[in-house]
Structure 1
Amino acid sequence: MTVHNIASKAAFDEAVKTHSVVIVDAFATWCGPCKAIAPIIAKMSEEEQFKDIFFAKIDVDDLPELSQELGISAMPTIIAFKGGELGDKVVGANPKAILELVNKQL
């Protein structure tokens, strides 16, 4: 797998509707902690145990309406969707908490 870059609200809606579990990394290009956490999420997306999870990222500056809809107030924010429903989230670059969030979706 890979981390898919979501460039529109329609693409986001389609991803959440199509995949049973979606992990969204809400980031900003200027955000240092976002840059630090991105390779960790990319590595997770390639792990066999997470093969059924769709990993995606959205740039909060490119999709401000979606960011507001998702309640993103700080970056990075990692959000889990299961069965199309908004689930738990982790705010901040906390690898342990992000791993726990992803494992909880299995």
Structure 2
Amino acid sequence: NIQKESTLHLVLRLRGGVPQLADKAAYDKALADAGDKLVVVDFTATWCGPCKRIAPFFAELAEQMPDVVFVKVDVDENEDVAEACGVNSMPTFQFMIKGKKVHEFSGASQENIKQAIAKHKP
């Protein structure tokens, strides 16, 4: 049973194996559906060079860590989500548990991503 994408508001498309959230409703649903899991949100843009360079690493982590939820938000397609989350530089990574931000940093640092996951993963 296939429902209309507009009613699901889930995932616009996959980019590098990581779901890209379509809108604010999809963002809110992803956080709610994660339950107690750590959610890592990559705020990205198609024109952002560092975003493109970190994307394969982010996708690899998503494959290696099924107990962590990895999602992307394109800031140009979802300005409302970026604004609501206080994001104004790319890439920005936010780490959420139960809908609350527990960590954030900007920049394409593989080491910072790994350290934040290790610190905050339940």
Aligned residues of 1:90 and 1:101 also touching (Cα < 8 A): no
1:105 is displaced (CA, Å) by 2.2
Q: TM-score, normalised by structure 2?
A: 0.81
Q: 1:37 aligns with which of 54, 63, 66?
A: 54
Matches within 5 A, 1:15-94: 15-19=30-34, 20=36, 21-47=38-64, 50-94=65-109
1:51 is displaced (CA, Å) by 1.6
Deviations 1:5-45 (A, max 9, x none): 10110010001011032100000000000000011110001
| Aligned-partner Cα distance in 2 for 1:28–1:9 | 16
Runs of 4+ with >3 A deviation:
none
Identity of counterpart residues, as a percentage?
Answer: 37
Aligned residues: 103
RMSD: 1.0
| Aligned-partner Cα distance in 1 for 2:107–2:90 | 6
Q: TM-score, normalised by structure 1?
A: 0.92
Contiguous gaps of at least 5 residues in structure 1: none
Q: Per the alignment, in what secondary structure is the counterpart of residue 46 of structure 1?
A: helix
Between 1 and 2, higher relative CO (CA 8 Å, sep ≥ 6) is seen in 1
Contiguous gaps of at least 5 residues in structure 2: 1-16
1:95 matches 2:110: yes
